[in-house]
Amino acid sequence: MEPGMENIFRGVALPLAVAVSSSAVLLALRALGLRYFRRWAEKTETRLDDFILASLRIPSVYWCFALGLHFGVDISELPERRIAFVNRGIEVLIVLSATVAVAGIGGAVFKDYIRRSNLPIPGTGLAHGLIKGTILTVGFLVILSILGISITPIITALGIGGLAVALALQDTLANLFAGIHVLIEKPIRIGDFIRLETGQEGFVEDITWRTTRIRMLSNNMVIIPNSKVTQTILTNYCLPERRMSVLIPVSVSYSTDPDLVERVLVDEATAAVGTVPGLLGEPAPFVRFIPGFGASSLDFTLICQIGEFVDQYTVQHELRKRILSRFRDEGIEIPFPQRTIHLREDQGTRGATGPAQPRSPKEPDS
């Protein structure tokens, strides 16, 4: 082989052939590896391996080409300066693709956690963006460091700028972090029925990055800043579970036998199980002689279990009708409020022969 052709072969053709062949071999190994891990992932119960495979499918192609190019350049006779430049580009490509892969894995894992935790979609979109943005920012800073660009001034500028933005957007950031706190701690969830300290109550419709929306029973929407939600006292009627007790007060006449009242109330509540929507048979309904002795009646409380908060309206409506009808059949009286008034006569208002007579205003004094 002539010297000129030999130089071309060793300088261009051979490195190019090595790069192409190495990339082809690596791509074939990648395909076999992905196929094997895909079959393995289908046999596992966790979805983490599926997320990893999906996130590595595209970046792994760039890794194969980058390694193939590195092998080709490594045996070439290019000047050291050009080899260093190519290797730096390869490092940037690998770091960039690895950053994208890690961001995809982190975002996918977090979204799966949100899905299993039944957290709201808008809030998870924000959190998902924050996670991916943080990973991509770190990768971008690493790339700048590889390119020889000092990142210290950039970090300083970002710190000062971040402080200025935080001061300018104090209320917005307070709502943002309060929303993240609500999503993580989960004192309320989408679909929960809650009552605020200020009296508003309804279903949690949405938890966004700034506000929490509550749909009241009147179909109106109450919009509350997330910072207020974390500071107020609220009652969640769906924690620890949706099942809850409903108390129905019943008053009867003092002449009624308490055992008869208790038996009638339990019979009617038990008979209504299965026919009244939302009324549960377990735990069984029961009666307590509470508050007890009223001003004009014996006061009882019927305690039943219902499926969720809003079921109490239908349950109370139906049970009260059944109880009233049964009381009429049993002759049990529901008394009206009564008062016994004792009048005391003042002796100074009566004379010796009878009550004092009022004097005419025109009659002169004697």
Query: What burial class does residue 212 get, using C-beta atoms within 10 Å of its C-beta: 0-12 exposed, 13-18 middle, 19+ buried?
Result: buried
Q: How far is CA 17 from the centre of its chain?
A: 56
Place of tokens 């299965």: 274
Residue 166: closest CA among 156, 177, 155, 182: 177
The amino acid occupying position 241 is E
List, for residues 227-261, the tens digit of each pLDDT value: 888 888 999 999 889 999 999 999 999 999 999 99
Report the 3 state secondary structure along 264-298.
Answer: HHHHHHHHHCCCCCCEECCCCCEEEEEEEECCCCE
- Phi, psi dihedrals of residue 45, rounded to the nearest 5°: -85, -30
Tokens of 15: 């490195």
289 near 273, Cβ under 8 Å? no
Residue 366 binned pLDDT confidence (cut-offs 50, 70, 90):
very low
Residue 258: closest CA among 217, 299, 201: 299
Confidence at residue 33, expressed as pLDDT on a 0 to 100 scale: 83
- CATH fold, domain 189-236, is SH3 type barrels. (2.30.30)
Q: How far apart are the first and last CA of the chain?
A: 161
List, for residues 181-215, the tens digit of each pLDDT value: 787 788 888 889 999 998 889 999 888 878 899 99
Residue 312 binned pLDDT confidence (cut-offs 50, 70, 90):
very high
Calculate the alpha carbon distances from 205 to 16, 120, 198, 215, 217 in Å: 60, 9, 18, 6, 12
Calculate the alpha carbon distances from 215 to 115, 191, 192 in Å: 23, 10, 10
Q: Which helix (H) or strand (E) holds 140?
A: helix 121-146
- CATH fold, domain 244-330, is Alpha-Beta Plaits (3.30.70)
Place of tokens 């009708």: 321
Calculate the alpha carbon distances from 104 to 37, 51, 147 in Å: 18, 8, 24
Q: Which helix (H) or strand (E) holds 336?
A: none
Mean pLDDT value across residues 250-276: 93
Residue 186: closest CA among 290, 113, 256: 113
List, for residues 138-184, the tens digit of each pLDDT value: 888 887 877 777 777 777 776 766 666 666 666 777 777 788 778 77
Residue 356, pLDDT > 90, answer no
**% of residues, the chain, pLDDT over 70:** 79
* Virtual torsion, Cα 281, 282, 283, 288, nearest 10 deg: 0
Confidence at residue 344, expressed as pLDDT on a 0 to 100 scale: 79
Q: Read off the DSSP letter of residue 303.
A: E
Beta bridge partners of 203: 193, 215
Query: What burial class does residue 214 get, using C-beta atoms within 10 Å of its C-beta: 0-12 exposed, 13-18 middle, 19+ buried?
Result: buried
Q: What is the pTM assigned to this prediction?
A: 0.54
